[in-house]
Amino acid sequence: MHDQLSEAAVTTPGPLDWRREAACAHLSEHSVFTRIPAEAEPVLRACGRCPIRKRCEAVVDPSHTWFDGVSGGRLWRNGREVTR
Ligand code: SF4
């Protein structure tokens, strides 16, 4: 019984499982949460093929959270898009 519960806890989809689909999942957090365009380039390229791009921006809601980093295919600094 204990083993069944443990297995269920590992295999049952949770509310954050959509993150596993993120094209940037293998990239460093430093590149994701940077404020510097050159450092964000690898993540911005990944955004171009990311299946959860729209959801990423909807969840992060950069302009309302003063977000720093990459979300939804754009780089943000203090919740404002950084133009390249
Ligand atoms: S849209 Fe970009 S930052 Fe958001 S999860 Fe996908 S690859 Fe990562």
Determine if ligand 1 sits within 6 Å of the CB of residue 70.
yes
Q: Could you give phi then psi for residue 23, rounded to 5 degrees? A: -70, -15
Q: What's the confidence (pLDDT) of residue 3?
A: 44
17 vs 71, which has greater pLDDT? 71
Tens digits of per-residue pLDDT, 5-43? 444 444 555 666 767 899 999 999 999 999 999 999 999
Boundaries of every domain in the chain? 21-81
Predicted TM-score (pTM) of this structure: 0.81
CB of 40 sitting under 6 A from ligand 1: no
Distance 45 CA to ligand 1 centre (A): 9
Q: What is the C-alpha separation between 63 and 30, in angstroms, rounded? A: 20
Q: What pLDDT does residue 12 have?
A: 54
Above pLDDT 70, what percent of the chain? 80
